[in-house]
Copies of this chain bind each other. A is one copy, B any other.
Amino acid sequence: MILQKHDILNLDRQYRVHLINHLSGVKGAHLIGTRSADGISNLAIFNSVCHVGANPASMGFLLRPLTVERNTYSNIMENGAFTINHISLQYIRDAHQSSAKFPKDVSEFDHLNFTEEYFSDFYAPFVKESHISIGLTFEEELKIALNGTIFMVGQIDFIKVKDEFLEETGHLSFGPQNSIGVSGLDTYYELNRIARESYAKAPK
């Protein structure tokens, strides 16, 4: 099937949202942990975490437009700290449930099977059940003019990795026991490694 712009505009609204949300395919699903100035911790699932750079070590993620209150955004703006936590297969349902609209004075940690954990003086909560977690300090935000979506960038301060997933080369081994994927906002995927390729060289 080939759809052009006018076909897309004429699709049933819900059908179009599903289709467009799924076009980018499967991405990693992560829980982002933050904490308000009042000390209320927050946990929310995101599907847009990206590598930004190795030096300075940095990562980013997309945040929906600020047309409603976004605790993740306001907490990061209050104190600059956030964590990115991988999700293992057994926690899909709890992770998905973090997408519900919990009131701002309620911590998702009190309602889901996740435990908050703190390291050193880092302000944001890590998810104890995650085998791969990263603590970051907010660096910058970039606003997409088209629809107000925000790309948030942070520098990496902390890496928590269970030793068994860290290879001698620095590569991480992903699988159902430590990381899952998601397409759109609702469909979850298991990830199984199939190949590692060497650095590609152009033909002579």
Interface of A with B (CB < 8 Å)? Answer: 1-5, 8, 11-12, 14-28, 30, 47-60, 62, 84, 86, 89, 92-93, 96-103, 111, 119-120, 132, 134, 139-140, 142-147, 149, 151, 153, 155-163, 166, 169-172, 174, 179-181, 183-184, 186-203
Contact = CB atoms under 8 A, between A and B. Distances in A.
A54 B16 contact: yes
B202 A92 contact: no
A157 B25 contact: no
Contacts of A17: 54-55, 170
A181 B193 CA distance: 9
Contact of A189 (B143, B162, B193): B193
A170 B7 CA distance: 13
Contacts of A60: 62, 144
**Copies of this chain per assembly:** 2
Given A4-B157, A202-B103, A181 B181 contact: yes
Nearest to A197: B96
Given A132-B23, A153-B146, A170-B14, A202 B100 contact: yes
Contacts of A49: 24-25
A179 B23 contact: no
Contact of A21 (B54, B139, B195): B54
B142 A151 contact: yes
A84 to B, nearest CB: 8
